[in-house]
Amino acid sequence: MSNCDSCSDGSCAVKQSDAANDEQAQIRRNLAIRLCGIRHKVLVMSGKGGVGKSTTAVNLAFALVEKGFKVGLLDIDLHGPSVPTMCGLAGQHPQASEEGIVPLEVSGLKLMSIGFLLASSGQATIMRGPMKHGAIQQLLADVDWGELDFLLVDCPPGTGDEPLSAVQLLGAGAAAVVVTTPQEVALIDVEKSLSFCNDLNLPVIGLIENMSGFICPHCNQLSDIFKSGGGDRLAEKTGVAMLGKIPLDPRLVVSGDDGKPHILSCPESTCSEAIRQTATAVVTFWDGE
Ligand code: ADP
């Protein structure tokens, strides 16, 4: 039944259901319009927390800006958004315009995070599945992203509600990069991320091995703190490309905490160079389109 003629007011369940369906259709339409302006959508995933996924997402986004692309970064780590702090925007809130919520901007990168919508950085996000889906839908559809070459989506670790909603909402044309560290305990979880992508028909651009060796600033010797070669072995086993290896560098911790992304504050470092190479590999994935 699509309408009810026997009630004169709008309070009956049928009319309310019709109104809800209209609202959902409108939201889906808004989302489709927003996504139309975005050429490539890249989910940044990890099997585990703490492997440097957000650090990688932020620096990869700036590396793409550096290459002259129009880039947005959406942080959907709803329970632990780090992008506001890492980009020096903690405590800031977006403005609204007739076109929608205006993303915040740093050095040409458009940014949106649930963190910008909370009253304070210490406020907990208390949400479960359907609410998370609605929140991610709004962060995509209600934000005035404009025309973008790349939208990077920083997902929380694992294969739960947020990446699943993101894949469903972004639809065809999205792809994933998976960030890992070289040791076995991290790699086991990466296989789960790859299986998630496979099951959802989400193309995998490749793996990024972060914390890949440490070059001592005093003696210049390389130490493999988290072992070595794990990412390469996994890439070989799964047939997924290895996009780049980012070494451990204490300056990444400082730049993340200070809100000055490493690639901007230390553009000449080995890490920045590795991130640029990774960005080139991401761009190459779509070559020929
Ligand atoms: P995740 O998003 O996977 O939870 P984060 O990006 O928040 O991880 O990084 C966790 C911590 O590790 C942060 O303090 C960050 O500065 C640090 N970190 C990330 N990558 C590196 C690296 N290559 N070298 C040194 N520290 C790093």
DSSP annotation of 156 reads P
Q: Is the CB of 275 under 6 A from ligand 1?
A: no
Q: Quick check: CB of 190 below 6 Å from ligand 1? A: no
pLDDT on residue 1? 47
Give the pLDDT confidence score for residue 22 in this predicted structure.
Answer: 85
Amino acid 129: pLDDT: 87
For position 222, what pLDDT does the model report? 80
pLDDT in tens, the chain (289 residues): 445 666 767 677 777 777 778 888 888 899 999 999 999 999 999 999 999 999 999 999 999 999 999 999 999 999 999 999 999 999 999 999 999 999 999 999 999 999 999 988 889 999 898 999 999 999 999 999 999 999 999 999 999 999 999 999 999 889 999 999 988 888 889 999 999 999 999 999 999 999 999 978 888 788 898 888 888 999 999 999 999 999 999 999 999 999 999 999 999 999 999 999 999 999 999 886 6
Quick one: pLDDT at residue 188? 87
Task: Give domain limits for the chain.
Answer: 39-285
CATH number of 39-285: 3.40.50.300
Please give the pLDDT value at position 19: 78
Which residues lie closer than 8 Å to 194 by C-beta, 6 or more apart?
Answer: 178, 204, 238, 240
Ligand 1 geometric centre to CA of 249 (Å): 10
Q: In this predicted structure, what is the pLDDT of residue 157?
A: 96
CA within 13 Å, CB half, 115: 26
Q: What share of the chain is helix, strand, coil (3-state, %, to 5)?
A: 45, 20, 35
User: If residue 212 lies in a helix (H) or strand (E), which one and from where to where?
Assistant: strand 204-215
Please give the pLDDT value at position 133: 96
Task: Locate the ligand 1 atom nearest the alpha carbon of residue 210 and give its number.
Answer: 23
From the CA of 155, how far away is ligand 1's center (Å)?
14
193 lines ligand 1 (CB under 6 A): no
155 CB near ligand 1 (under 6 Å): no
Q: Ligand 1 pocket, 158 CB below 6 A? A: no
